[in-house]
Amino acid sequence: MTEVAETKRDRIARRQVDKFDARRTELAVATLHTLAELGYARTSLREIAQNSEFSHGVLHYYFADKRDLVTEAVRQYEAVCVTRYDEVVAHAETANQLRDDFTAMFFATLAEDAPLHRLWYDLKNQSLFDEAFRKDVLDIDDRREAMIWRVISRYAELRGSECTASPATAYAMLDGIFQRALLNSLSEIGEAVDAYREELPRVLDLLVA
């Protein structure tokens, strides 16, 4: 009888934890665009509440502070984004098709989701100063690296070639281009973004033998 009661209590406790986590996720996703517009330095839970449909009390109940909320929001966004190129990889039948489709999507997401990408780089920069962010940032970076490597390794396979760089180096190169293009895009320097768009295919060629 005692074991049955304990099992029931465990199930109830797990359901409560699951509901709490689900609500955290819901709130993080719902406030993501507000966070992306305001940035880390300019926000507090109270300011986020004022710019969203949720009260300060609700946010404070589910998140210890803005650091907790920002980290969860970026984690949820990146969980989707780290598969953004998988469809391009799956459908590519030739190396040229993969290169062209990847380039098109690379710059499409830069334009369409610029505030959200800006939030990611904001969090990444904060991790240089705040150790509490580092584990999450490194975890997300590892998944982004794996995403890029799926593109590069498949491109090499379709060309009948071998990769000339490690996954880490390939990711660092393409992420550097993306971040610089994002800055130019936000600064409305269109010619610089266009230059990166033209050069990206050549960078892909440098990453395979």
The one-letter amino acid at 53:
E
Reading the chain (209 residues) residue by residue, the pLDDT tens digits are 566 556 655 655 567 678 998 899 889 888 888 888 888 887 888 888 888 888 999 999 999 988 899 888 888 888 888 889 999 999 999 999 999 999 999 999 999 999 989 989 998 999 999 998 899 999 999 999 999 999 999 999 999 999 999 999 999 999 999 999 999 999 999 999 999 999 999 999 999 98
Contact present, 173 and 165 (Cβ < 8 Å): yes
How many other β-carbons are positioned within 10 Å of the β-carbon of residue 80? Answer: 9
**127 to each of 21, 40, 137, 153, how far by Cα in Å?**
24, 12, 7, 29
> What pLDDT is stored for residue 66 in this prediction?
87
> What pLDDT is stored for residue 16 in this prediction?
67
93 vs 99: CA distance, rounded Å: 11
Q: Which two tokens stand for residue 100?
A: 């062209």
Kindly report the pTM of this predicted structure.
0.83
> What pLDDT is stored for residue 189 in this prediction?
96
> What pLDDT is stored for residue 93 in this prediction?
97
148 vs 27: CA distance, rounded Å: 29
**177 to each of 16, 33, 51, how far by Cα in Å?**
44, 24, 32
Q: Which domains does the chain have, with CATH numbers?
A: 2-206 (1.10.357.10)
Residue holding tokens 């920002």? 70
- Summarised one tens digit per residue, pLDDT across range 56-70 is 999 999 999 888 998
String of b and e for 4-16 (b: at least 16 CB within 10 Å)? eeeeeeeeeeeee
